[in-house]
Structure 1
Amino acid sequence: MCELYVKADPILYESRSRSLRIRGVVTTLRLENQFWDILAEIAEADGMTTNQLITRLYEEVMDFRGEVLNFASFLRVSCTRYLSQRRAQVTELSVVRSNAG
């Protein structure tokens, strides 16, 4: 089982920093490449750039919570929640297809 994880391309878990402007302040985020790839996928699905998506997520979490102590961790959790939701949708679709057949 562990081979699935240990054989991952090291590029996926290398960190990369990106600078962007959020609410007029230039900030730098450091995430692993795999998370940047997932954020780009989410952004594309929503018709945005990755920076636009990150800015929107920041604004929404600030409006909802009033603060975010570790925004990079928030983004990582957002990515895993997106993947879980996508997996659930695929599972639901396959159940519907198998019941229709």
Structure 2
Amino acid sequence: MCRLFVGADPELWTSQTRSIRMDGMVTSVRLENMFWSILEDIAAKDEMNVPQLLHQLYNESIDEGHDLGNFTSFLRVCCLRFIDLQLKGLIPQANSVTLETLSSEDVLALEAEQNHERRLKRAVTRGQH
């Protein structure tokens, strides 16, 4: 099983630092290449480039009142959520559907419902053992 992970191309976990200008300030973000690739996929869905996506994610997070003391961790979680939401069928994998056209409220509600059902199943399973 672990061979699937340790046998992967080491370039995937090689880190790369990119400088990005946000609100007139230049900041550096260091992520593994696999995360940069996922961010490129996310950005492409809405016809953006990665700096535009990061700027939008940052601004919307601040608008929501989130503390982004560790922006790189936030970006890693965004990447994992993107893949997870696709695997759960909550956002389409097709590039023809932009994220902007999706109802985030509907997606988040469906995700919450799926998570609730998963917790109930785990609770039932634990009760049977």
TM-score by structure 2 length? 0.67
Q: Helix, strand or coil for the counterpart of 2:72?
A: helix
Q: Helix, strand or coil for the counterpart of 2:30?
A: strand
Which of the pair is proportionally richer in helix? 1
Say whether residues 1:34 and 2:65 are aligned partners: no
Q: Distance in 2 between matches of 1:54 and 1:5?
A: 28
Q: Give the C-alpha shift of residue 24 in structure 1.
A: 1.2
Q: Give the C-alpha shift of residue 33 in structure 1.
A: 0.2
Q: Give the C-alpha shift of residue 34 in structure 1.
A: 0.2
Q: Distance in 2 between matches of 1:42 and 1:13?
A: 19
TM-score by structure 1 length? 0.85
User: What is the total number of aligned residue pairs between the two structures?
Assistant: 91
Q: Distance in 1 between matches of 2:18 and 2:62?
A: 20
Q: Give the C-alpha shift of residue 66 in structure 1.
A: 4.4
Larger Rg: 2
Return the letter of the residue paired with 1:52: Q
Q: Give the C-alpha shift of residue 67 in structure 1.
A: 2.5
Structure 2 residues without counterparts, runs of 5 or longer:
91-129
C-alpha RMSD of matched pairs (Å) = 1.5
- Which residue number in structure 2 is paired with residue 21 of structure 1? 21
Q: Distance in 2 between matches of 1:37 and 1:14?
A: 12
Q: Give the C-alpha shift of residue 82 in structure 1.
A: 0.2
Structure 1 segments of 4+ aligned residues over 4 angstroms from their partners: none
1:1-101 → structure 2 map (5 Å cutoff): 1-89=1-89
Structure 1 residues without counterparts, runs of 5 or longer:
91-101
